[in-house]
Amino acid sequence: MNKIEAIDVNFYYGDFHALKGISMEIPQNKVVAFIGPSGCGKSTFLRLFNRMNDLIPGSRLQGRILIDGQDIYAPGGMEVDELRKNVGMVFQRPNPFPKSIFDNVAYGLRVNGIKDKEFIRQRVEESLRGAALWDEVKDKLNSSAYALSGGQQQRLCIARAMAISPSVLLMDEPASALDPISTAKVEELICELRNQVTIVIVTHNMQQASRVSDKTAFFYMGEMIEYDDTKVIFTNPHKEATQNYITGRFG
């Protein structure tokens, strides 16, 4: 079953044609990686799935993007706030709020009108456990999130995104600013979370893409050159451009 479907997507920043005729299907509860050189459209395409590009003046979309069969750009369709409850986002650099560890994770629940303190407490613990962070922070939940290491902050941001039970999690180079040990923990977390959510990850680290993803899409110059099972992309790609990128001949 497909969770996300993009149909002939073209995207423009003003006159610049950033994405060209992209169609793809992302299956439910799978991890899909977007790879390709910088500036090739990976992050732009990722941000279409929770309408973050709406914030950019002069940007416009042609084509359709469906999540659970619903066109998220259809006039009079899904509210953006509702969409973002269902589609969480983790950014390249950890961005905890200037609040306590507990309040960071509880934030989304409270914003969505949940007042039951016991439910919030349980959900915070569940989310921190799910992000493999609970044992490290359970005795300092009231401490500032800024006191955590970079890797812990990134896992906190994943816990914050997961606390409101999204069905899709977008990750824009979530480990690029982290050390190897923290990167490994985030990768383990991605593998565990695929049981709960559909994950789309942008990464420049091809080893990471091969380790964590089920399917991989290779982007180049605003086009999706190839999209297939990750094993195929990395061992037997069909397009010469993909082969050249994987083997380091360009990019």
Report pLDDT for 76.
83
Question: How far does the chain reach from its first CA to its final CA, in angstroms?
Answer: 33
Report pLDDT for 54.
93
141 assigned to some structural domain = yes
Q: What residues in the chain have per-residue pLDDT under 70?
A: 250-251
- Name beta bridge partners: 199: 31, 169
**Cα→Cα distances 48→42, 51, 56, 121, 209, Å:** 10, 5, 12, 32, 21
φ, ψ (nearest 5 deg) of residue 6: -110, 130
CATH of the domain at 95: 3.40.50.300
Q: Are 209 and 238 in contact (CB under 8 A)?
A: no
251 assigned to some structural domain = no
**If DSSP codes are grouped into helix, strand and coil, which group holds residue 189?**
helix
Query: In which domain, by residue range, is 102 found?
Result: 2-246
Report pLDDT for 251.
54
Report pLDDT for 249.
80
- Take residue 248 and report the two structure tokens written for it: 């380091």
Kindly report the three-state secondary structure assignment for every residue of 118-167: HHHHHHHHHHHHHCCCHHHHCCCCCCEHHHCCHHHHHHHHHHHHHCCCCC
In angstroms, the CA 122 to CA 120 distance is: 5
Report pLDDT for 61.
97
226 assigned to some structural domain = yes
Residue pLDDT, tens place only, 114-154: 999 999 999 999 999 989 899 999 999 999 999 999 999 99
Would you tell me how many other CB atoms lie within 10 Å of the CB of residue 39? Answer: 12
Report pLDDT for 1.
87
Would you tell me how many other CB atoms lie within 10 Å of the CB of residue 149? Answer: 14
In angstroms, the CA 100 to CA 113 distance is: 19
83 assigned to some structural domain = yes
Report pLDDT for 68.
96
185 assigned to some structural domain = yes
132 assigned to some structural domain = yes
195 assigned to some structural domain = yes
Q: Are 181 and 151 in contact (CB under 8 A)?
A: yes
Indicate the number of domains in the chain.
1
Closest CA to 142 of 107, 104, 116: 104
Q: What is the mean pLDDT of the chain?
A: 94
135 assigned to some structural domain = yes
In angstroms, the CA 110 to CA 95 distance is: 18
Closest CA to 121 of 136, 142, 143: 142
pTM over 0.85? The answer is: yes
